[in-house]
Structures are given as structure tokens and as C-alpha cells.
Amino acid sequence: MTDFFKKKRTIVFLVLCGLIIIVLLAAYLRLALQPVPQKAKNPPVIERGSIVDRSGFPLAVQTNFYRIGLSSKDVKDEKAKEFSKVMAYYFGLTETELFEKINKKREYVTLKKKASQSEYEIIYDEAKKHGFNFLNYEKLPGRIYPNNSLASHLIGYMGDEGYGLAGIEFSQQDILSPEIDEQLETAEQGKNVYLSIDANLQYKLEQIAAKTMESTQAENMMLLAVDSTNGEILSYISLPSVNLNEYGSTPEEYKKNRPINDSYEPGSVFKIFTLGIVYDHRGISPNDNFLCDGAYEHKLSSGETIRIKCLEKHGWLTPRDALKYSCNDVFGQISDQISEEEFITRIKQLGFGERTGIQLSGETPGKVKGTDDKYWSARSKPTIAIGQEISVSALQMVQAATAIANGGVPLKLSVIRKITNKDGSVFYEHRPEYKERVFNKSTADYVLSCMETTAKTGTGSRANIGDVSIGVKTGTAQMADKINGGYSDTDFLSSCIAIFPVDNPQIILYIVVQKAKGETYGGRIVAPVIAEAADTIIDYMGMSRGGASSLEHNGVITIPYTKEIKIGTELPDFTGYSKKELLPLAERTDSTIKLNINGSGWVISQNPEPGSPVTENMIIELYLE
């Protein structure tokens, strides 16, 4: 040992050790002087806002789904057979189907695209019990539509990737689910959108619309109910509709949002606007008389004669009578009392030929021909006056009608009542947006009184409801033959528009039935539907009826005592419970379940659904508004 530790050898050893220490100190010093790297942050979670009706009733709420799959190369052959035998039932497959699916040795196999919370828990527990640790679970943002097809075209649909694909879900994507702003310390959460519709009224009117579709064997129909005092749409119906929880498997034709996408010739309903335009222009007066001999005829300087048929020979008629009997001949003569340029200008002032700007995407502007249009002819003006050679949308029709209901001043339409932040504070609230005056008040009052006459004794008499004054106009239009050109002999668009009460207009109701079988005249098939729908609206909104009795209430409301929430073998229905009532259950330490309470107020939905079997360590998501 003494021979080993020679002086020279020891010096070399110590020098090497010193050099190693210097290198280590230099490396340490370099690391010490470097800035501390920021710890990678998990991407912030943004909760998508809810879509609710005007009173807060839930129409679309956030939830979670799970995409369950596996990498088939991770599954050994002996495990594949056992896995297929045990798990096939939970994936809705036979044992053979599941084995073939995972035995193709593909990189990744998706076994369930959208598993609910309860389905995920059952599959997870079963897989864990049998040691199937090769399953992957990807948590996905999801959407539950508690009312299935109710107002489906207005609400729209959110796809699997968290982006809206239609309706409000699409048009308000940035409001419902804001993009992540890296500059903000806390991610901005989605806002809640309160629609202008009333869910209960929507349901009642959808029942009437569905019954109409069945009785007329129509191909499709639309129904819009609008508050004429502020422009808010109270009911928005397009049939056939789509179950939003089965959106992907629904035919494309059912997904079409007709009130905003469809443009069509409105037919005789358009005569109310012709009457208003020419009367406001002072081209006619209430006492003027026009002779209907069965057809409107106008001879041109070239010698050509324009001829438009009328259904009957009505004889001498005032403008009021012309609307009452929907006389094509007299309305052709009324159109002669105004120039082409002035007539078209006034039509555009009513909003035809341009989008209403409502909070939905894909809106059609319709089509209003100008006098310089290559398809304009000498017969265009009288033809447009009776609702042909012009293309409109249902939204344009009700927006133009607000001018009649509102004393000559149209209102911009809205399907959104308000938008709130997650804490309930108001981010946006709809206020009536008045457009430029298009009629004098006397003109609007005159047209409305003529519509009331039409409801009492004219073509719209089947829409008369007796104890509430109502003004209506019906229409029947031949639809274009898209195959052979011209107009179809079998396809008709039947419609009716109503404004009520006449003495204090509050509601505009517009119904369009397309391609009904058998009877097609709007006065016969749509006017009765107007009466039924108007009755429903009047009763639901508590509007005053003639001869209605009054009830008194002492003002005392008794709130029943809420019983303690008990959880047995099945999950109870938490809907309607307040956050305060849930707290004792959430704070229990002996419970085998976990409550995740989202929001504040009262429970509007839950996941898993009521009646689901209670399992150990179950997680229950509750959504409150």
C-alpha cells in the first residue's frame, strides 16, 4: 500500500480531482445564472355557455363525453379473446364483432365515440376489474339538448370538436366558447345566451304545427310569432325538425332552417304591403271604386295587352273590399296608381331584397327586381303587387309587418333576449331597434283596419277569434316548377299573416304551409291554424279577452317544505333543487358518491340521468342556473 501512494502518483490524482471539481462548479455556476424555465401550464378549461329560453329554461347545456379506444398492437392475442368476451356488451357489439375490430392490428381503434359519464364509469370499472389496462379514455366537451327537437333549428348543434355547426350554437360560437387569450391570466369563460322564445309557448305551437303537417300532408311548414312592440321572436318553428341529440343521423332535408334559408313568392299576403305603399303615396283613398270584371287588363303602346286573371268577377270594389276578397284585378289597378320606380323603392324600404340582420347565419336576402333588371317587363309591377315575381323570406315578411303593427315604423327582429356572464351579470340585453319610418301612422291604421275586415267577413274569416280583434290576410301561391320551368299545377304555398289585438297590436303571427295535399287555399287550411295558434298565445300570455272574468288573489304564496335528499340504489332526480339544498349532501364525508356542482341557482340538468344505478365513487355532474 505504501508503494502505491507514490508522491508523483498522488499529485496527479489530486490534480485530476481538482479539475473535475472545477468543471462541476463551472457547470453549476452556468446553470445557476440561467433564467428559471417556466413550468408548462395546462391549457385552461373553458366551460361553454348554456342556451336557455327567455325565462332561463335550459335548451342546451354543457356536459362531458368520452372517446374510448385502444391501440390494437398493445393487445396480446390471448387478451383479445378475453377482452372481446367480457366487454362486447358494453360497446354494443357481439363478441365476434369486437374481436374482429381489435384484431386488425391497426394503430388505433375507436370503440365508442361518445360515451356518457355513466357509460364511461361502467366501462372503466369493468375494464379495471379484469386488468384491461390498455383502454384509452379521452374526455371530450359535449352538449345535452334536454328537449330533443324543441326549437331545434333556432338552437342549432355543437359538433364533437366543440364548435357550433348550426343555429345559435354556430352564430354565437365566440360568445358561448371564447377563444383562449394567452395574455389573460384567467381564461374567459363562455357566456349564457337567453333566447327570445318562450319554451312552453314554443312547445304548444309546435304541437299545433305538427298536427297541421299531419292533416294537410304538407311537405314542410313554418310558423313565426313575434312581439310587435320590441321585435323579439316568441316562437320559431320550422318543420320537419331534427332531434338535436341524434343530429348526425338525421336526413339533411330535416336540418334545413326554412325561415332564414328559404326564399319564395309570398302570394296574396303581400297585398297588405301593396295597399300600404299606394295608400301612403296617396295614389288611392278609402272611397275610391274599381271595377273587377274577372281579369286585370292593361294595353301597351305596342298593342300588346297584359292580362292577369282574378278568381271571380267581384264588380265594383273599394280598396278595403279588394283586400277583403283578395281581388287580383283591383290590385293590378291599384298598382297603376304609382310609378314603377317609386313602387320598388318603397318595397325595398320595407326590408325586402336585403337580409334582416337577425342573429343567425345563412340568411337569404330574397330577390326584388329593379326596373333596370333584364327580366323586368310591363307586367312586373302588377304581378309583384299580388305577390309574384318577388322572392321573400318568412323573416322579411314579419319584419315588414311590424311597420303595420307599430304605426308605420318597422322594428329589427331578434332571437336573443339577453346574454349573461357566468356570474349572472348582464353582458348584453336586447333593446327595441327602430328602423326608419316607412308609413304614416294613418296608413298603418288603415291597412290594419282593412285586415280586420278581412278577418270578419273576407277570405280570412276562418282566422277570426271573436273576443279579440284580429287583422289577417291569407295567400295561396303557385310554386315554381324547377324541372319544367314556369309554375307547378300541383305545388302550392299556402299562408296567412295575422296582427292582434287590432286596437293595441302586440303579436304578429305568420304561418306558411308548403306543398299541402288536397285543399291548398290559405283561407281554408292556414286561417283556422292562425285562429288556434292565436287563441293559444292569447291564453298563455294572459291577454285580455272580451267578456273575460277577473280573479283575485290574496298575494300569499305557500312554499312547501323540501325533504332531505336520500340516495339509495338508484340515482334520484335532482332537477329543481337549489344549491343550498344540495350542500349537506355535497359535504358528507361518509358518502360513496361525489357531487360536482356547476353554476348557482337551481338544478336544470344532471349526468348520469335519474334512475341510473349508484356505483362506488360515482361522480355526479349537476348543472345549475
* pLDDT tens-digit readout, 501-537: 999 999 999 999 999 998 888 888 999 999 999 999 9
Instruction: Report the 3 state secondary structure along 125-184.
Output: HHHHHCCCCCEEEEEEEEEECCCCCCCHHHHCEECCCCCEEEHHHHHCHHHHCCCCCCCC
Give phi and psi for 291, each to the nearest 5. Answer: -95, 125
625 touches 58 (CB < 8 A):
yes
The pLDDT score that the predictor gives to residue 561 is 44
The pLDDT score that the predictor gives to residue 468 is 94
The pLDDT score that the predictor gives to residue 573 is 81
Q: Which amino acid, residue 375? A: Y
List the single range of 49-58, 159-168, 361-370 with lowest mean pLDDT: 159-168
Residues 6+ apart with CB under 8 A from 109: 69, 70, 71, 72, 101, 102
Q: Rg (Cα) of the chain, in Å, rounded? A: 34
The pLDDT score that the predictor gives to residue 546 is 74
The pLDDT score that the predictor gives to residue 186 is 67
- The yes-or-no verdict on residue 556 having pLDDT over 60 is no
Going by pLDDT thresholds of 50, 70 and 90, the confidence category of residue 55 is very high
Q: Mean pLDDT over residues 237-254, rounded?
A: 92
What would the pLDDT profile of 400-415 be if each residue is shown by its tens digit?
A: 999 999 999 999 999 9
- The yes-or-no verdict on residue 496 having pLDDT over 50 is yes
- The yes-or-no verdict on residue 465 having pLDDT over 80 is yes
The pLDDT score that the predictor gives to residue 558 is 46
- The yes-or-no verdict on residue 549 having pLDDT over 50 is no
Q: Helix 441-457 to helix 394-405 angle, to the nearest 10 degrees?
A: 110
Where is pLDDT greater, at 135 or 495?
Answer: 495
Q: Which neighbouring-strand residues pair with 193?
A: 51, 419
**DSSP readout, 60-129?**
EEEEEEEEEEE-GGGS-HHHHHHHHHHHGGGGT--HHHHHHHHTT--S-EEEEEEE-HHHHHHHHHHHHH
Question: 25: which 3 cell numbers?
Answer: 462548479
**H-type alpha helices, 387-499:** 394-405, 441-457
- The yes-or-no verdict on residue 555 having pLDDT over 60 is no
- The yes-or-no verdict on residue 95 having pLDDT over 90 is no
Residue where the block lists cell 309591377: 381
Q: Of all residues in the chain, what percent carry a pLDDT higher than 90? A: 55
Q: Mean pLDDT over residues 442-455, rounded?
A: 97
How many whole angstroms separate alpha carbon 553 and alpha carbon 537? 23
Q: Which amino acid, residue 566? A: K
List the single range of 189-203, 453-467, 604-618 with lowest mean pLDDT: 604-618
The pLDDT score that the predictor gives to residue 426 is 95
Q: Mean pLDDT over residues 422-438, rounded?
A: 95
Q: E strands, 293-425, where?
A: 295-299, 305-309, 315-317, 416-420
The pLDDT score that the predictor gives to residue 557 is 45
What would the pLDDT profile of 571-622 be if each residue is shown by its tens digit?
A: 888 777 777 677 667 666 556 677 777 766 677 778 787 877 777 767 787 7
At residue 382, the 3 state secondary structure works out as helix
- The yes-or-no verdict on residue 207 having pLDDT over 50 is yes
Residue where the block lists cell 314603377: 340
How many whole angstroms separate alpha carbon 258 and alpha carbon 79? 53
Q: Mean pLDDT over residues 178-201, rounded?
A: 84
The pLDDT score that the predictor gives to residue 587 is 61
End-to-end CA distance of the chain: 85
List the single range of 32-46, 198-212, 237-251, 425-439 with lowest mean pLDDT: 32-46
In whole numbers, what is the pLDDT of the chain averaged over residues?
87
The pLDDT score that the predictor gives to residue 618 is 75
Q: Mean pLDDT over residues 9-33, rounded?
A: 75
The pLDDT score that the predictor gives to residue 185 is 63
Residue where the block lists cell 360513496: 592
The pLDDT score that the predictor gives to residue 45 is 65
How many whole angstroms separate alpha carbon 288 and alpha carbon 279? 11
The pLDDT score that the predictor gives to residue 22 is 81
Q: Mean pLDDT over residues 470-485, rounded?
A: 87
List the single range of 262-276, 278-292, 313-327, 484-498 with lowest mean pLDDT: 484-498
Q: Helix 77-87 to helix 117-129 angle, to the nearest 10 degrees?
A: 130
- The yes-or-no verdict on residue 40 having pLDDT over 60 is no
Where is pLDDT greater, at 138 or 222?
Answer: 222
